[in-house]
Structure 1
Amino acid sequence: MKSVREITVYRWTIKKSEFICTLIPCNNEAQINDIIDEYKQKYHDATHNCVAYIVQNAKRANDDGEPSGTAGLPMLDVLEKNDLSNVIAIVTRYFGGIKLGAGGLTRAYRQSVADALKEADIVEKHLVPLYKITIDYSYTKKFDHLLKVHQIKCINKEYLDCVNYYCYLENLDFLDVVQDLTNNTYKKEYLHDDYIEQNS
């Protein structure tokens, strides 16, 4: 699956109208509306905030007051033709006083997303399970070494009665290694799947 690595912003002006395209990575349908609302609030003084997104099984285009079919659908078309997923595109327009016409609007919104994608870092992502692995303090030094050797991505550590490691495990055989290291005294808990970069 291809997506954008990070939030990317691209600005340009045509006939005094300023267009700001924001590309936002999003891996969860439940976050879509909050993200869109955040940017509509950020650009609350804009004439239009048009949206297109493909996130998991959700796909939508919204013209936000522009003539029907001139904004959201052309934006969505660019995302689809670039085979992108888990991305939200928001194009903000500040009207400059000169009308672009339906054809001009369609081209402007399409180009906003296409040019933003040229600036964006496109990466391959895939679903990987996130686990919480709990071990005794006496094993942490060797466990940290194992993480490096096996190239395990650890996103957080908690130092409580024991140490909790939050790790993405592309290969669950790693748990056998942890079992051997800790004499089977470790605990594991599957949390959820996330889209992460290939070989990241």
Structure 2
Amino acid sequence: MRSIKETTTNTIIIKKSEFITTLIPCNDEKEIKDLIELYSKDDATHNCVAYRVGPLEKADDDGEPSGTAGLPMLNVLQRQKIDNVIAIVTRYFGGIKLGAGGLTRAYTNSVADALKEAEIVDKELVKLYRISVDYHFSRKVSYLIQSKNLLLMNTEYDEKVHYDVYLRDTSFLDELNELTASNMHYEVVKEDYIPVEV
């Protein structure tokens, strides 16, 4: 799956109107609404939206003439085969009307230009494990995670040490089991899309 690595913003000005595109990576359908609210500007003339997240695709013109904003934005994401991304184009009207054709071009170019600025990455679905071990194993476990270049998201310390780590290969769990003499616990926290090269 092709997506973007991180949130990317790009601005173009057409006939005094400012078009600010924000591309937001999103892997969870439940986060779409909150992310759109977070990145939309209350003082803008329009906040037009297109997204492809999981099986969901949507385009919203937010008051622009029907079909001149959201759909052209969505078409760019489809043509470039970009998934799990929300595109918001925030427009501040500059006083000169662009007409339907001009608007369609403006919103198309806004998203296309922002994608040129974004870092496009291949992502794959990987399970996030929470691994818990006793304190006296923590140095060895930390070293093993580091030496295997695994993506460690978080480490927590309470009565045990907990590592939240993405694992493509579960043989790592066998190694840990051996290292700790079966004195470890693990559970799958969630599945998420992460860049292939990590």
Calculate the TM-score normalised by the size of structure 1.
Answer: 0.97
Distance (Å, rounded) in 2 between the aligned partners of 1:176 and 1:102 = 61
Which of 75, 85, 88 aligns to 1:87? It is: 85
Identity across aligned pairs (percent)?
Answer: 56
Partner of 2:29: 29
Q: How many residue pairs end up in the alignment?
A: 198
Structure 2 counterpart SS, 1:9:
strand
- Please tell me whether residue 97 in structure 1 is matched to residue 95 in structure 2: yes
Shift of 1:152: 1.5
Q: Which amino acid aligns with 2:62?
A: D
Partner of 1:19: 19
1:176-200 C-alpha deviation (Å, 9 max, x unpaired): 0000000001001111101111121
Partner of 1:165: 163
Distance (Å, rounded) in 2 between the aligned partners of 1:79 and 1:37 = 20
Distance (Å, rounded) in 2 between the aligned partners of 1:153 and 1:7 = 20
Partner of 2:150: 152
Shift of 1:151: 1.9
1:35-184 correspondence to structure 2 within 5 Å = 35-40=35-40, 43-184=41-182
Structure 2 counterpart SS, 1:139:
helix
Structure 1, 147-156 or 7-16: larger mean CA deviation = 147-156
Distance (Å, rounded) in 2 between the aligned partners of 1:103 and 1:174 = 56
Distance (Å, rounded) in 2 between the aligned partners of 1:199 and 1:140 = 26
Shift of 1:39: 2.0
Q: Which amino acid aligns with 2:143?
A: H
Say what the alpha-carbon RMSD is for the aligned residues: 0.8
Distance (Å, rounded) in 1 between the aligned partners of 2:129 and 2:39 = 32
Q: Which amino acid aligns with 1:167?
A: V
Instruction: Give the gaps of 5 or more residues in structure 1.
Output: none
Q: Which amino acid aligns with 1:170?
A: R
Shift of 1:38: 1.5
Q: Provide runs of 4+ in structure 1 moved above 6 Å.
A: none
Partner of 1:198: 196
Shift of 1:37: 1.1
Shift of 1:60: 0.1
Instruction: Give the gaps of 5 or more residues in structure 2.
Output: none
Calculate the TM-score normalised by the size of structure 2.
Answer: 0.98
Q: Which amino acid aligns with 2:103?
A: L
Shift of 1:149: 2.4
Partner of 1:8: 8
Distance (Å, rounded) in 1 between the aligned partners of 2:8 and 2:174 = 40
